[in-house]
Structure 1
Amino acid sequence: MKSGCDLNEVEVLEPLLQRGGKTNGRILATCVGFLADSYDLFTIDLVVLILQLQYGEELISTGAKSLMVSTMLAGVVAGQLFFGLLADWLGRKWAFVCTAGLTVLSALACSMCYDSGLHGHLGLPLQLALCRFLLGLGVGGEYPLSATVSAEAVGDASGRGQIMTLVLSMQGLGMLLASLLAMFLVTVGLSLEATWRLLLAFGSFPSAIAFCLRWHLSESEAFERCKSAEVLCERSHSQKVVTTLASCWPLLAGTSSAWLLMNMFTYSLGSFKSSIFETAQSSAADEVFQQALFAALTSSFAIMGFLVGFQLIRHMSRYQMQLYGFLALSVVFMVVSVCMEFWPKPSPTSQLIVLGLVFFGLNSGPNLTTYILPAEIFPTCVRATCHGISAASGKIGAFLGTAAFPLVQRYYGMTAVYAACGLAAALGVLVTYFLTPRQVLELETLDKEPL
């Protein structure tokens, strides 16, 4: 077999061309769904800003903002665990269809919430929190399913890495799409209320396309082989899962802890961009436009990181990309923390550059590998389950980061925030060194000889 360094672009994509429309359909359905997933996750920052400008601090207080953000993260965690288990038990196809359908309905429900005048039981923040929780269930299910479906669609390790990078790159496009749409709606002169409702409702559009595409997909061949093997061996699915997890727990500890540490600083910085970049605009519309512009620029850095990662994954192992990526991020955070001791009030432009570099480094390294590895190093019978557990750990890290970020910034400043992020990245280096495998096997081989 040729190594990744010996393959040119045509050879890497050759397995896809040979398989034809079936594989291409799976990848398209996965990419569109993950685009919607990213859009729904990252649009809430702009929506919360608009709601605060429209209704004021009395209704959209700090507690209300935290509630709307954290409930969706809780839904994402539940969705990752539930749909990961469901995909390994009933199959990839129908679990994939369910996540898209749930995302469509929940995104529309979010856009229909209204201010009832009640600050307690059924007020606007609580309505949005409940709808965002349901949306989080669908979005969370996309993580293990998109990774599992795309990994099982391509047998070759080199081609699989690039295809999964393509899927994850929809994360950057989703962030950019949310920002550009907000800028467009403000520019054409729509009211604040119409803007936030359309921003939330638009997330249902790509999810509806994904739903239609997935309805016509066939079941994964790897899953069907796994189910046939269970029947021949006369073993229940639960017995096989328990046995497999018992032997794979060190790998699961590695993928889960690495994802948790990465998301602690990814979401704490990314989801609260508007609190980092404080601007004084002449109107509410100008402020929304400015914050959307900042988000669009940082998303561009993220997309460039994905493009670099798309090339690196052909020439470097997953282990190397994750190890060196965490190390580089740790150095960046620590340097920025030290610099802010002497420059306590940097300009928005300098903070934009720092945040852009962070997104660039993440998406050319740890953000890719923490998503790809759980779909490559676990057997088919627990692939989606283990990916769901790993991803859920990541969202727990995101919850911890977004909960702690405002408090650390308020009492200790951004210097302490960047120092804490550097420490988390340094711990990621240690986790990668001790708990991440140095190589990946072909998926069929993995079912016979687990790492």
Structure 2
Amino acid sequence: MSAESAPASSDAQDASSHSTAPARKHHSNLEDLENEHNPRFPFILSYTEVKLLGIAGVGFFLDAYDLFIINPVATMLQYRLYGGHSLPPGLEGFIKAGANIGSVIGQFAFGYSADYFGRKAVYGKELMLIIFATIGIICDPTGAISANGALIWLGVWRIILGIGVGGDYPMSASVATDRANVKRRGTLLAYIFANQGWGSFVGSLAFIIILLCYKPTMDAGAARAWRILVGLSLIPAFGTLYQRLTLPESTRPREEERSDDRKACRFTDVRDDPTCDGGHREEAPPQEFFAYFSEWRHLKILIGTCTCWFLLDIAFYGINLNQNVVLQQIGFDGSSGTPWERLFKIGVGSLIITALGFVPGYYVSVLTIEYLGRKWIQIQGFLLAALFLGILAGQFHELSTPAFIVCFAFLQFFFNFGANTTTYCYPAEVFPTKFRASAHGMSAACGKAGAILSALAFNSLSKQIGTPAVLWIFFGCCIAGAGFTLLLPEVRGRDPDLVYEEELRERRALRHD
């Protein structure tokens, strides 16, 4: 690969909007996204952006698909393994929390690896792990081992699945942001994250269709359909694997300090260009990371992204991992009828919930994020989610069914037209390329930690203090999230690499003085 030097500091702004790099050995039109100057509305995507959206968005589709299907799969396994009786509480919690536990590992590991080894060297490996784990899940030998052993098998493979799903967060965010035009960056990220809404929707729809296919057979036969429901996720995974593995490295410049002339080297060239110190750095990557975040101006932003995501996921996953409370209120909890009827009611109820709040909220964020800004959307999302949580908590036993549905739909809407979208966008947009994936992985891992805490504590707390009291806790988390958002700068139109370059220039000036 021929060496490419980053533009001089004085020309950095021009370089961010005009392509002046010579022809590259491995070129893809996706590499031109970062230089694309598009006068259209930011939410109207070009062909290359749609292509990138398809490559990067599949991980979030699979994340939400998995989040949805584990509840009906657990219900199916009641009939397959325990004759319709409830799963052992400890093992049920293990299989439901397994993916989130794995996600924390994957977010840290893949985030750091993407910054250290480069995006191209790592991207696609997380999807291979998802495929491998999914195959392991559907090969669960339920007829050859004990019922409890089958659940342990499922839980272990779901942890491995979670590592891949978690790794997709920092990888896809970094790959997309590295290529995005700064004026359309938030829109592209919001589009990618909106695939979570479609994952939930398609999961609900697939569940209903599979049950309808089993209706002519005996009712208990539907309990064996869980492998099909899990295996369907392999279709989008295999469909995008090749594209991920062959995606070229982004050409976005990455400033590397040199011990001699401080020459800035391109991110893609730092390991291949002998003029760039042969890939050697003045400091080891962990030292650079800790040095950067030892400054309060950077640390407070990392605290903000981590804490906001943690607080959001306590409330968001606390609600969505325990939808049986909501389904019970609207009569779709599957508490009566034949096995097939009970499963079908759960599927229809979940489809209603997804259509009412999930998908609309994501796409309002897509349409407005470049106009309203991330900070405004996140604060109003936290506050309005808190409002509807307060209504549900205060009037939990008094609300009529229509009022409950409307209130819950608005709650879901403002989760997604709010912090559930922006907590994903913020770490990808506020940190420079050099630390982006690591910081994003840390922030996402804090979010999953909140999800795990909520999943493990919700049921026991509901029994001890009541569901309304738990909803008041979620209310407090949302209020606190709005407060911690004040630590974050607005990132609309902000190029973190140029900010970082200016900081380095100031630091060098101080050294010379």
Q: Residue 4 of structure 1 aligns with which residue?
A: none
Distance of 2:397 and 2:325 partners within structure 1? 20
Distance of 1:24 and 1:276 partners within structure 2? 35
> Using a 3 Å threshold, how does the CA distance of structure 1 residues 311 and 59 change in structure 2: closer, same or farther?
closer
SS at the partner of 2:252?
helix
8 Å CA contact 2:76, 2:224 repeated in 1: no
Letter aligned with residue 414 of structure 1 = T
Distance of 1:32 and 1:340 partners within structure 2? 36
For the pair 1:287 / 2:339, whether they are aligned, the reply is no
8 Å CA contact 1:223, 1:381 repeated in 2: no
Distance of 1:414 and 1:352 partners within structure 2? 17
TM-score using structure 1 length = 0.90
Distance of 2:410 and 2:86 partners within structure 1? 35
Which of residues 273, 281, 286 in structure 2 aligns to 1:238? 286
Gaps of 5+ in 1: 2-6
8 Å CA contact 2:393, 2:472 repeated in 1: yes
Q: Residue 99 of structure 2 aligns with which residue?
A: 72
8 Å CA contact 1:374, 1:390 repeated in 2: yes
> Using a 3 Å threshold, how does the CA distance of structure 1 residues 423 and 9 change in structure 2: closer, same or farther?
farther
Letter aligned with residue 188 of structure 1 = C
Distance of 1:401 and 1:54 partners within structure 2? 28
Q: Residue 488 of structure 2 aligns with which residue?
A: 436
Matching of residues 22-61 of structure 1 within 5 Å? 24-56=50-82, 60-61=87-88
> Using a 3 Å threshold, how does the CA distance of structure 1 residues 181 and 341 change in structure 2: closer, same or farther?
closer
For the pair 1:178 / 2:188, whether they are aligned, the reply is no
Q: Residue 445 of structure 1 aligns with which residue?
A: 498
Distance of 1:139 and 1:193 partners within structure 2? 26
The Cα of 1:331 is off from its aligned counterpart by 1.3
Distance of 1:322 and 1:339 partners within structure 2? 26
The Cα of 1:205 is off from its aligned counterpart by 1.7
The Cα of 1:220 is off from its aligned counterpart by 1.7
> Using a 3 Å threshold, how does the CA distance of structure 1 residues 228 and 197 change in structure 2: closer, same or farther?
same
Q: Residue 461 of structure 2 aligns with which residue?
A: 408
Distance of 2:168 and 2:42 partners within structure 1? 25
Q: Residue 253 of structure 1 aligns with which residue?
A: 303
Number of paired residues? 435
Q: Residue 329 of structure 1 aligns with which residue?
A: 385
The Cα of 1:104 is off from its aligned counterpart by 0.8
For the pair 1:204 / 2:239, whether they are aligned, the reply is no
Could you give the per-residue CA deviations for residues 333-362 of structure 1, whole angstroms, max 9, x where no partner exists? 11221112545xx54x55443332222111
Which of residues 79, 83, 88 in structure 1 aligns to 2:110? 83
Letter aligned with residue 304 of structure 2 = G
Distance of 1:65 and 1:194 partners within structure 2? 18
Q: Residue 441 of structure 2 aligns with which residue?
A: 388
Could you give the per-residue CA deviations for residues 279-312 of structure 1, whole angstroms, max 9, x where no partner exists? 4331111111111112112211210001111122
Which of residues 252, 267, 273 in structure 2 aligns to 1:226? 267
Matching of residues 65-214 of structure 1 within 5 Å? 65-115=92-142, 116-118=144-146, 123-157=149-183, 159-189=184-214, 191-214=221-244
The Cα of 1:313 is off from its aligned counterpart by 0.6
Distance of 2:503 and 2:202 partners within structure 1? 40
8 Å CA contact 1:68, 1:128 repeated in 2: yes
Could you give the per-residue CA deviations for residues 181-209 of structure 1, whole angstroms, max 9, x where no partner exists? 00000011162343211111112221111
Letter aligned with residue 215 of structure 1 = L
Letter aligned with residue 345 of structure 2 = Q
SS at the partner of 2:490?
coil
The Cα of 1:277 is off from its aligned counterpart by 2.1
TM-score using structure 2 length = 0.79
More helix by share: 1
Distance of 2:38 and 2:471 partners within structure 1? 39
> Using a 3 Å threshold, how does the CA distance of structure 1 residues 302 and 90 change in structure 2: closer, same or farther?
same
> Using a 3 Å threshold, how does the CA distance of structure 1 residues 341 and 96 change in structure 2: closer, same or farther?
same
Which stretch of structure 1 is more off in the superposition, 97-106 or 189-198?
Answer: 189-198
The Cα of 1:119 is off from its aligned counterpart by 5.4
Distance of 2:450 and 2:301 partners within structure 1? 18
> Using a 3 Å threshold, how does the CA distance of structure 1 residues 53 and 449 change in structure 2: closer, same or farther?
farther
For the pair 1:311 / 2:367, whether they are aligned, the reply is yes
The Cα of 1:256 is off from its aligned counterpart by 0.4
8 Å CA contact 1:104, 1:207 repeated in 2: yes
SS at the partner of 2:181?
coil
The Cα of 1:76 is off from its aligned counterpart by 0.6
Which stretch of structure 1 is more off in the superposition, 189-198 or 210-219?
Answer: 189-198
Distance of 2:476 and 2:38 partners within structure 1? 38
Aligned-pair identity (%):
25
The Cα of 1:117 is off from its aligned counterpart by 4.2
8 Å CA contact 1:84, 1:385 repeated in 2: yes
Distance of 1:331 and 1:42 partners within structure 2? 25
8 Å CA contact 1:333, 1:418 repeated in 2: yes
Q: Residue 410 of structure 2 aligns with which residue?
A: 357
For the pair 1:271 / 2:299, whether they are aligned, the reply is no
Could you give the per-residue CA deviations for residues 107-152 of structure 1, whole angstroms, max 9, x where no partner exists? 11111113344356xx111000100000001000011111111111
SS at the partner of 1:156?
coil
The Cα of 1:447 is off from its aligned counterpart by 3.6
Structure index of larger Rg: 2
8 Å CA contact 2:55, 2:244 repeated in 1: yes
Distance of 1:75 and 1:43 partners within structure 2? 17
Letter aligned with residue 282 of structure 1 = G
8 Å CA contact 1:36, 1:204 repeated in 2: no
The Cα of 1:59 is off from its aligned counterpart by 7.2
> Using a 3 Å threshold, how does the CA distance of structure 1 residues 228 and 129 change in structure 2: closer, same or farther?
same
The Cα of 1:27 is off from its aligned counterpart by 2.7
Letter aligned with residue 54 of structure 2 = L
Letter aligned with residue 91 of structure 1 = G
Could you give the per-residue CA deviations for residues 315-336 of structure 1, whole angstroms, max 9, x where no partner exists? 2121111111111111111122
Could you give the per-residue CA deviations for residues 25-54 of structure 1, whole angstroms, max 9, x where no partner exists? 333210223222321232212211221243
